[in-house]
Amino acid sequence: MGIVSPLGIGWDKFFDNLCAGKSGISRIEAFDVSTYPSKIAGQVKDFDPCQYLDKKEARRLPRFIQFAVAASKLAVADAKFDISSDPDRVGVIIGSGIGGIDFLEEQSSVLREKGVSKLSPFTVPYMICDMASGFTSILLGAKGPNSCVVTACATGTNAIGDSFKIIQRGAADVMLAGGTEAAICPIGVGSFCAARALSTSYNDAPEKASRPFDAGRDGFVIGEGSGVVVLEELEHANARGAKIYGEIIGYGMSGDANHITAPAPGGEGAVRAIMAALRDADVSGDHIDYINAHGTSTQLNDKFETMALKHVFGDQAHKLSISSNKSMIGHLLGAAGAVEFVATILTIINGIIPPTINYENKDPECDLDYTPNQSRKKNVNIALSESFGFGGHNAVVIAKKFEG
C-alpha cells in the first residue's frame, strides 16, 4: 500500500494521524484565495517529487502524476515485489477525476499571453487523466492491462474494483490500483465554489470545516493526494512469500441515472451498488463489521447515504460502526476511494476504527454510529468502503481479514 495524503506520506503515518483524529485541513497556500468563498483545503505538505523522480521529470510532470508515481513506488516497495520478474502479468489502473487541471490552466495562460508557439508540447499528455497510469507503467515497466477510470469521486474505488475483476478473470497476476488528484489550483477550487459545493463557513477554523453527518455541515473541503495498492492473485502472492494485508471479496457498482451532481433521492443508487457488492462477496449485511463511508460533509450526500445504509442493513444499520476519513483529509475526489480503501484495510488489520471528527451537532436524519470524535477499538473481520461520484457513479468494495 502507498499513500500520499494531507495527513502524511506513507500509510503508517497516515493511519496514526487518522486514529488520533488529527485534521489535515488548512488555509490554501498555493495561490491567493482572498476573493474565494472557500479558502481551505486538505493539502499535501512536505512532498518532494525528487525522492521519486529524477529532477527533470520532477520539474516537468504535473502534480497528479507525481503523486501517482510516489504512491505506486511506495506500494511496490511495501509489497517487496519485483515487477521485472514477469512484467506482462503486471497491470496498472490509476484513475483521476480531473487529471492535470493545473497544467491545463497554466498552458491556457501561456496561450493567451504568448501565443500558440509557446505552448508546451506536453500539454495534451499532461492534462489527460490516463497519464497517471501510463507514466507509472512506463516508469515501473508494468506491461499488463493498463487503463484509467474516470468516475469523479468514485474513481479510486472503481479502479480497485476493476483491477480485482481483472485478476479474478485471469488477465493479470498483479495490478497496481488506485487514484490520484491534485486540483487545488485557481480553476479547480473556483469551479467547485461556483457549484456551491464547498464549505464556506469555517475559513477561519479550517480544521472544523469538514464535518460529515453533523447538522452544521455546509459543503465538502477539497483535498489532494494519491492512494495505490498492489493487488495480487492469492497463489501468486503465496508463491513468493508476500505479506498479505487483506482480501478483497466483493465489488459492486451502479448508476443513479438521476442528476449530474445530486445523488439519487434516498440513496437509491447507493443501495443497488452496496447490494451488488454483497452479492458478489456472497455475504449478508449481518457479516459487515465496519463501513468506511463516503461521508462528504454535504447536506444531500450524508442524508441519502444514511438512508441507503438503513435500507440495506435494516435494524443492523444502528449496530454498524461507520466513519468518514474526509472529516480529517477533506475530499480527495478521484483519489478519495483509494486512500479510504487503504484506511479500511488498516482498520481491519489494527482493530481500530478512525473517528469522524467535528461531529458536534446531531442531525435527526443522520442518526447512525459514525464513531464521533474518538477512535475506537473493535475487531473488524469484514468491512465495506463506498464512494459516490458526480454523474451518478456509485462504487463499493468489500474486504475481509486475511486468514491464510
Angle, CA 239 vertex, CA 234 and CA 244 arms, to 5°: 50
Q: How far is Cα 212 from Cα 330, in angstroms, rounded to an integer?
A: 10
Sheet of 321-323: strands edge to edge? Answer: 247-255, 393-400, 382-389, 290-292, 321-323
119 exposure class (CB count in 10 Å sphere: 0-12, 13-18, 19+): middle
User: What distances in angstroms separate CA 378 from CA 15, 122, 236, 383, 400, one per listed residue?
Assistant: 16, 49, 31, 12, 14
Cell of 164: 480485482
Q: Which residue has the cell 521529470?
A: 57
Collapsed DSSP state (helix, strand, coil) of residue 95: strand
C-beta separation of 382 from 289 below 8 A: yes
User: DSSP strand E in 158-198: where?
Assistant: 174-181
C-beta separation of 155 from 97 below 8 A: yes
Q: Where are the alpha helices (DSSP H) in 10-152?
A: 11-19, 55-60, 63-79, 101-114, 123-127, 131-140
What is the DSSP code string of 387-402?
EEETTTEEEEEEEE--
Catalytic residues: 153, 294, 331
Q: How far is Cα 157 from Cα 145, in angstroms, rounded to an integer?
A: 17
Cell of 207: 480544521
